[in-house]
Amino acid sequence: MPTRRNTARERLKTLLETSAETETGNGYLDLLGAANQAGPPTGITQRLMRTTLLPRIYERYWRPVLGRALKGPSGPSMAGEVTLATELLRLRPGHTVLDVACGTGRFTRAFGAAVGPDGLAIGLDGARTMLAKAVAEGGPDTVAYLRADAVRLPLKASTVDGVCCFAALHMFAEPETALDSFARVLKPGGRIALLTSARRGRQPARLIESAGGIVSGQKMFDRGEVGASLRARGFTAITERYAGVTQIVAGRLG
């Protein structure tokens, strides 16, 4: 008798482009095999995510503290981010949602609850250590985890109702290719929600923020840049929220 979590993994398998064996016995499917890294390395921050220590302190300390520093006092709390992402994606019972670069699965678990027993929340990440922690955290039976490259999503076209990518787009080697991939897997009318970097336009803040991006290996997007990229890919109803050096950008495909 399969458990519901097995059922979620089985449902995820039907959405993949490949029929290759992906079971690891670790509670997640794996498309990266022996490769330690998903895609080309981009620097220290991405490397930190693959250590064994960071996933242990990530949800409780690292993400809230660093997030507050980057968002500033006006930005949403962590709980606020999860609520906002769920609302921006307009998640409903029965939806399939993809949490790209899910880390330890904080958002994925919330999405799993929002889509109900007939829905599916897929958490995708490249780091084994992050996924091991995500699996250990448990959560709704509607959640399934996948180790794969966020830039070239291995899902069939037009298969998901929502794509979330928080705190990661700026870390990818090819963020524009990732956006192409996000648009490809979304169904027409599907929603996207992104939280990423946003450097300010005025000096000296711009210079300092750009230097910070170079040192940490992360792209500093300009304000409006991600919204424009979504528009160019056919997204409409685009909203942009800025706080500190972050932006939350959302939209609908078509």
Q: Is 101 in the site for ligand SAM (CB under 6 A)?
A: yes
Interaction mask 28-67, ligand SAM, x per CB under 6 A: ----------xx------x--x-------------x----
Choose between 98 and 115: whose C-beta lies nearer to ligand SAM. 98
Choose between 94 and 138: whose C-beta lies nearer to ligand SAM. 138
* Residue in 29, 97, 150, 243 binding ligand SAM, rule: CB under 6 A: 150
- Torsion angle of alpha carbons 124, 126, 129, 133, nearest 10°? -10
Q: Is 172 in the site for ligand SAM (CB under 6 A)?
A: yes
Q: From the CB of 154, what's the least distance to ligand SAM, in Å?
A: 11
Q: From the CB of 223, what's the least distance to ligand SAM, in Å?
A: 20
Q: Is 120 in the site for ligand SAM (CB under 6 A)?
A: no
Q: Is 143 in the site for ligand SAM (CB under 6 A)?
A: no
Q: Is 127 in the site for ligand SAM (CB under 6 A)?
A: yes
Choose between 49 and 115: whose C-beta lies nearer to ligand SAM. 49
Q: List Cβ neighbours of 236 (8 Å cut-off, separation of 6 or more).
A: 251, 252, 253, 254
3-class DSSP string for the chain: CCCHHHHHHHHHHHHECCCCCCECCCCEEECCCCCCCCCCCCCHHHHHCCCCHHHHHHHHHHHHHHHHHHHCCCCCCHHHHHHHHHHHCCCCCCCEEEEECCCCCHHHHHHHHHCCCCCEEEEEECCHHHHHHHHHHCCCCCEEEEECCCCCCCECCCCEEEEEEECCHHHCCCHHHHHHHHHHHEEEEEEEEEEEECECCCCCHHHHHHHHHHHHCCCCCECCHHHHHHHHCCEEEEEEEEECCEEEEEEEEC
Q: Is 253 in the site for ligand SAM (CB under 6 A)?
A: no
Q: From the CB of 202, what's the least distance to ligand SAM, in Å?
A: 27
Cβ–Cβ under 8 Å, residues 77 and 53: no
Interaction mask 210-249, ligand SAM, x per CB under 6 A: ----------------------------------------
How many residues belong to the site for ligand SAM (CB under 6 A)? 22
- Residue with the shortest CB distance to ligand SAM: 103
Q: From the CB of 110, what's the least distance to ligand SAM, in Å?
A: 11
Q: From the CB of 101, what's the least distance to ligand SAM, in Å?
A: 3
Which has the closest alpha carbon to 227: 197, 209, 251? 251
What count of other Cβ atoms lies within 10 Å of the Cβ of residue 240?
16
Q: Is 139 in the site for ligand SAM (CB under 6 A)?
A: no
Binding-site ranges for ligand SAM (CB under 6 A) = 38-39, 46, 49, 63, 101-103, 106-107, 125-127, 130, 149-151, 166-168, 171-172
